[in-house]
Amino acid sequence: MDQLIISEGGALSGEVEVSGAKNAALPVLCASLLTAHPLTLDNVPDLRDVSTLLRLLRNMGVDTERTQHRVRLSAEGVHQTVAPYDLVKTMRASILVLGPLLARFGQARVSLPGGCAIGERPVDLHIKGLQAMGARIEIAHGDIVAEAKRLKGARIFMDTVTVTGTENLMMAATLADGVTVLENAAREPEVADLAHCLNAMGARIRGHGTDVITIEGVQALQGAQYRVMPDRIETGTFLVAAAATGGDVRLLGVQPGSMDAVLDKLTEANAQVTCSAGQIHLRMRGPNHGVSLRTAPYPAFPTDMQAQFMAMNAVAQGTTVITETIFENRFMHVQELRRLGANIEVEGNAAIIRGVNRLQGATVMATDLRASASLVIAGLIARGETIVDRIYHLDRGYEKIEQKLSQLGAHIRRHSREDS
Ligand code: EPZ
Q: What is the pLDDT of residue 346?
A: 98
Averaged pLDDT for residues 2-6: 96
From 90, 127, 160, mutation site for ligand 1 pocket: most ligand atoms within 8 A of C-beta: 160
From 26, 88, 164, mutation site for ligand 1 pocket: most ligand atoms within 8 A of C-beta: 164
Write the Ramachandran bin of 106: left for phi over 0, alpha for psi from -120 to 50, otherwise beta. Answer: left
Question: Confidence band (pLDDT; 50, 70, 90) for 57?
Answer: very high
Residue 186 has pLDDT above 70, yes or no: yes
Q: How does DSSP classify residue 152?
A: B
Averaged pLDDT for residues 381-386: 98
Q: Which atom of ligand 1 is nearest to the CA of 164?
A: 19
Q: What is the pLDDT of residue 113?
A: 87
Query: Atom 8 of ligand 1 has which residue's CA nearest to it?
Result: 304
* pLDDT over 90, % of the chain: 93
For residue 190, the CA-to-ligand 1 centroid distance in Å is: 12
Q: Which atom of ligand 1 is nearest to the CA of 328?
A: 34
- What are the pLDDT digits (tens) for 87-132? 888 898 999 999 999 999 999 999 998 777 788 888 999 999 999 9
How crowded is residue 210: how many other Cβ atoms within 10 Å of its Cβ? 11
Amino acid identity of residue 136, one-letter, is: R
For residue 163, the CA-to-ligand 1 centroid distance in Å is: 6
Active site residues: 116
For residue 164, the CA-to-ligand 1 centroid distance in Å is: 6
- What are the pLDDT digits (tens) for 292-304? 999 999 999 999 9
Q: What is the pLDDT of residue 398?
A: 97
Listing DSSP states for 321-369 in one string gives EEE--S-TT--HHHHHHHHTT-EEEEETTEEEEE--S-EE--EEE--SH
Burial (CB count within 10 angstroms: exposed 0-12, middle 13-18, buried 19+), residue 251: buried
Residue 193 has pLDDT above 60, yes or no: yes
- What are the pLDDT digits (tens) for 64-95? 999 999 999 999 999 999 999 998 888 989 99
Write the Ramachandran bin of 68: left for phi over 0, alpha for psi from -120 to 50, otherwise beta. Answer: left
Nearest to 396 by CA among 361, 366, 355, 360: 366
For residue 272, the CA-to-ligand 1 centroid distance in Å is: 31
Lining ligand 1 with CB less than 6 A are: 22-23, 26, 93, 119, 121-126, 160, 162-165, 303-304, 326-327, 369-370, 397
For residue 419, the CA-to-ligand 1 centroid distance in Å is: 34
Mean pLDDT, the chain, whole residue set? 96
Q: Which atom of ligand 1 is nearest to the CA of 188?
A: 12
Q: What is the pLDDT of residue 90?
A: 87
Averaged pLDDT for residues 141-163: 97
Q: What is the pLDDT of residue 95?
A: 97
Q: What is the pLDDT of residue 417?
A: 78
Q: What is the pLDDT of residue 1?
A: 82
- What are the pLDDT digits (tens) for 26-56? 999 999 999 999 999 999 999 999 999 999 9
Residue 419 has pLDDT above 70, yes or no: no
